[in-house]
Chains A and B, each alone.
Chain A
């Protein structure tokens, strides 16, 4: 692909760079405990937790596994599981 004049980049293109490979711990939501408060969505620096039709879902394609969602969850509904690489 030709380089753009002056290095200008189209907005939102980092979606093509999946940071999920950086992860060594994976957050798992326990939907029995989840109250749907949305704190996890709020505190995610990587914008990977979304309300999908009324249920919070984690996009593991980008989740780096920082654990903020699990630490901040008021009802301990998220567990961090070590992933074998």
Chain B
């Protein structure tokens, strides 16, 4: 049985992603090395040179060009893909903004890693957050299996004519990219049925010449920008449908825009994204056996922000603790900001407390999560909602 048989294999996370990409048959792959993303593109390179994957594999001189190659290839009508992380994603920023504006539906793996300075190759979500406002759809995964499944769905989401936006599948560096897990693969024919060849609405065609990338000033700029937002908002329904369509094929349901884990009757709801959700689920189970009514919301789709689903899942909660692996300097974590903005002014809303945890790969154990819950309970008892977020496991003794 080949790589894509309905088979289970123990795979490095990066290899699982590469197999998903292979199954999607991209016409163009562009690559530039940066840890901890490199194993993905190395695996794809091996597939291409061994004749297992028919793709134009372009080795470029920077992430800026890696993303630019996708823009050109996508506009020319090819399904296209790259992977990056950290500084690489930051270097791509301008390209991503322009590509979202031009509605180019390529897929990127955003391997999550901290951003300089100081330099750190350990995971957090700060890099992807730099693209928060760019118009790229961001989906976070918890496991290698979810990474495999989500990448296949990602192309279908990106290429949906009602969406037509780039999609970034975010996975924590090292924790997911370099660890081995059992991953179940889907047969190629099934993937082909789910994901037919890319049929763009417009492409660079000498028989029907069109022009891309115009100037639009005060008379139309706003409408073009609103159209991106609208595609994201309208796209929420479509993303859920695509996820569930894939769940039917693969037999695995990772949830919709969010996964609500034991949130029914929960008084305290944790919110997390990425691989930490696994640890959080364990912690929730443990706390539940101790009688605490705790639940977890794993945000899968971060952009568009699924506030409708989150609000529904926390409607009976007393307090929500948002675990943030990124921080907007001088303010607070991004998810907390998003959530509080949507909650403000509504009746019967839970208290939202921002917990900065795991920056630069600072380990989050179940113990960390128990401490978060304790902290939240204390804040509730005192009745004083803190303005400032908590920085979990911060070492005040080493601060200047």
Contact = CB atoms under 8 A, between A and B. Distances in A.
Direct contact of A and B (CB under 8 A): yes
Interface of A: 3-12
B210 A9 contact: yes
Contacts of A5: 103, 164, 201-202, 227
A5 B162 CA distance: 10
B224 A7 contact: yes
Interface of B: 101-104, 164, 201-202, 209-214, 216, 220, 223-224, 227
B202 A6 contact: yes
Given A8-B202, A9-B214, A3 B223 contact: yes
A11 B210 contact: yes
A3 B210 contact: no
A7 B102 contact: yes
Contacts of A9: 210-212, 214
A6 B103 contact: yes
Binding site secondary structure of chain B: loop
A10 B211 CA distance: 6
Contacts of A12: 209
A21 B25 CA distance: 52
A11 B210 CA distance: 5
Contacts of B220: 3
A83 B174 CA distance: 72
Nearest to A6: B103
Contacts of B223: 3
8 contacts: A6-B101, A6-B104, A6-B164, A6-B202, A7-B214, A7-B224, A9-B210, A12-B209
Contacts of A4: 202
Given A7-B101, A8-B211, A9-B210, 19 more contacts: A3-B220, A3-B224, A4-B202, A5-B103, A5-B202, A6-B101, A6-B102, A6-B103, A6-B164, A6-B202, A7-B213, A7-B214, A7-B224, A8-B102, A8-B202, A8-B212, A9-B211, A9-B212, A11-B211
A8 B210 contact: yes
A7 B216 contact: yes
A7 B104 CA distance: 11
A78 B202 CA distance: 44
B211 A6 contact: no
Q: Which 6 A-B pairs have the closest CB atoms?
A: A6-B103, A11-B209, A6-B102, A9-B211, A8-B202, A8-B210
Nearest to A3: B223
Nearest to A10: B210
Nearest to B201: A5
Nearest to B211: A9
Nearest to A7: B214
B342 to A, nearest CB: 28
A4 B104 CA distance: 13
B227 A3 contact: yes
